[in-house]
């Protein structure tokens, strides 16, 4: 009859191999979720009970190192139908241009805005920090 005792080094080796095989898949799944923050926020809104077929008023957060840059961006976005508000951040390091626009939230529209904001911010050395919206029932 064979010995049923498995040497510890064999169990550890099997565990390491299993982790090596599973880790890339788990990391890829995590990365896909992180790669689409708009989809993540939409999913969170929906889970909170928001009706995504109805218009929302998302707030988009654009950070710029200078007040002049933030005001220039605000002017461009206002001309595109956004309401904007510019103020210095609490840290005093940056200026926030908060832009809002009443719209039905779709992944396509949000992705388009994300690309436009990133392009708009590039010459000013700014950063786009995503968006948020209240639940609409």
Per-residue pLDDT reduced to its tens digit, 78-118:
999 999 999 999 999 999 999 999 999 999 999 999 999 99
Structure tokens at 64: 């710029």
The mean pLDDT value for 55-66 works out to 98
Does residue 22 have a pLDDT over 90?
A: no
Share of the chain above pLDDT 90, in %: 74
Predicted local confidence at residue 9, as pLDDT = 61
Number of domains in the chain: 1
Question: For 13-17, 33-37, 72-76, 104-108, which range has the lowest pLDDT when averaged over its residues?
Answer: 13-17
Does residue 128 have a pLDDT over 70?
A: yes
User: pLDDT tens across 25-47, in order?
Assistant: 655 555 555 579 999 999 999 99
We report the CATH number of the domain holding residue 4 as 3.30.70.970
Among 32, 38, 73, 78, residue whose Cα is nearest residue 58: 38
Structure tokens at 83: 């309401």
Burial string for 47-65 (b: 16+ CB within 10 Å, else e) reads eeebeeeeebebbbebbbe
More confident of the two residues 52 and 4: 52
CA distance 45 to 55: 13
What ranges make up the beta strands (E) of the chain? 55-56, 59-64, 83-88, 95-100, 103-104, 127-132
Domain holding 115, by residue range, is 1-137
What is the chain's mean pLDDT, rounded? 87
- Residue in this structure with the two tokens 């809104």, named with its chain if needed: 45
């Amino acid at each position: 009859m064979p010995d049923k005792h498995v040497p510890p080094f064999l169990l550890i080796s099997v565990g390491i191999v299993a982790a090596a095989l599973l880790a890339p898949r788990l990391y890829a799944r995590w990365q896909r979720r992180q790669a689409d923050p708009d989809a993540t926020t939409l999913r969170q809104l929906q889970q909170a009970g928001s009706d995504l077929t109805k218009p929302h008023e998302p707030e988009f957060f654009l950070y710029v190192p200078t007040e002049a840059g933030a005001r220039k961006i605000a002017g461009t976005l206002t001309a595109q139908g956004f309401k904007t508000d510019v103020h210095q951040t609490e840290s005093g390091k940056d200026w926030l241009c908060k832009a809002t626009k009443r719209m039905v939230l779709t992944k396509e529209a949000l992705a388009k805005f994300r690309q436009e904001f990133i392009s708009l911010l590039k010459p000013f050395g700014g950063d786009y920090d995503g968006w948020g919206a209240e639940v609409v029932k």
